Amino acid sequence: MFSTRWICRMHIAGRINRLGSHRLASTGGAKIGKKFENMGQIKDYLSEPVWSVHEYLGTNVEESALKLPPVKLVKKLLRLSGLPLEGADIEGIQMQLAKQLSFVNRLHDIPVEDGTGVEEYGARLMPRKTTLLNYKMLLEAVKHQKQDADIGEVSGSWTATGLAAESKNGYFVVREGLLKNRK
């Protein structure tokens, strides 16, 4: 049986849902409703939780039920990441990665609104429409280019090997050979 408090909440929620469907006018995926007339309406609106972070944590399934990435994949990722294989807690990484993936793979089930014609590069926070560069513009840009000591463009403004732990005659040093013994 429902408690009185719970019934009240359901009643309010039902009222808000009706109010909500009346209020929300479609403008594509995002919608703006009609102006709230009083604080009572605002409080009613706020009293209806729409979702919970537990929806994310729902992906936080029991460890035994997780699909672990294969050991071979984990070793490949360690190599790509430049992290040591020797002494690595492979099982721990498998578990960690499985948990991370159960969280981010939620994306697979979400449909992409493709009607906008905007490709993925629109995700960059840069102007979506740009002007094509031509030869004249490049020449113009070069003409006005100035060397900047702050970014090391002025010859002698910095020593390339000055911050290296090891260097020899102005060269960086890589021990054990750069290409030998590499997998």
Partner 1 sequence: MPLKRFLKQPLQRLSDLQSKYNIFTSISITANKEQTNKPLTNYVASIKDNIVTKDLPTTCASHILENFKSPYDATVVKLLKQAGVHILGKTNLDEFGMGSGGVHSMRGPVINPLYPHEQGMIMGGSSSGAAASVVCDLVDFALGTDTGGSVRLPACYGSILGFKPSYGRLSRFGVIAYSQSLDTVGILTKKIDVLRKVFQVLDKYDTKDPTSLNDELRGLIEKNMKAKKPLKIGIVKEFNHESLPSVFHELYSSFLKKLVNLGHEIYPVSIPSVKNSLPIYYTLSPAEAASNLSRYDGIRYGYRDSKLDIKDGVLFAPTRSKFGIEVKNRIILGNYNLCSDAFKNNFIKAEKLRVNLIDEFDRIFRFPNVLTDSKGNPEGLDILVVPTSSKLPETIKDFQEQESKSPANSYINDVFTVPMSLAGLPTLSMPLKEKTPIGVQIVGQYGDDSTVLDFVESLS
Task: State which of positions 6-45 bind partner 1 (CB under 8 A).
Answer: 20, 23-24, 27-36, 39, 42-43, 45
The alpha carbons of the chain give a radius of gyration, in whole angstroms, of 29
The binder of partner 1 chosen from 1, 65, 107, 132 (CB under 8 A)? 107
Which residue in the set 10, 103, 140, 141 belongs to the binding site for partner 1 (CB under 8 A)?
103
Binding-residue pattern over the window 45 to 64 for partner 1, x denoting contact by CB under 8 A: xx-xxxxxxxxxx-xx----
Work out the burial of residue 59: count CB atoms within 10 Å of its CB; fewer than 13 is exposed, 13-18 middle, 19 or more buried. Answer: middle
Q: How far is the CB of 1 from partner 1 (least distance, A)?
A: 22
**151 part of the interface to partner 1, by CB under 8 A:** yes
> Measured from the CB of residue 39, what is the shortest distance to partner 1 in angstroms?
6
Q: Which of 67, 70, 100, 137 forms a contact with partner 1 (CB under 8 A)?
A: 100
**Contact indicator for 101, 77 with CB cutoff of 8 Å:** no
Whether residue 68 contacts residue 99, with contact meaning beta carbons closer than 8 Å, is answered with no
Per-residue b or e along 148-173, where b marks 16 or more CB atoms closer than 10 Å to that residue's CB: eeeeeeeeeeeeeeeeeeeeeeeeee
**Site for partner 1 contains 164 (CB under 8 A):** yes
Is 133 a residue that touches partner 1 (CB under 8 A)?
A: no
Contact between residue 108 and residue 67 where contact means Cβ atoms under 8 Å apart = no
Judged by CB under 8 A, does residue 166 bind partner 1?
yes
Only segment of 3-11, 99-107, 132-140 that touches partner 1 (CB under 8 A): 99-107
Which C-beta is closer to partner 1: that of 107 or that of 139?
107
Helix/strand/coil for 25: strand
Helix (H) or strand (E) holding 12: helix 4-23
CB of 71 or CB of 77, closer to partner 1? 77
User: Cβ 136 to partner 1, closest distance in Å?
Assistant: 19
Q: Is 55 left (phi over 0), alpha (psi -120 to 50) or beta?
A: alpha
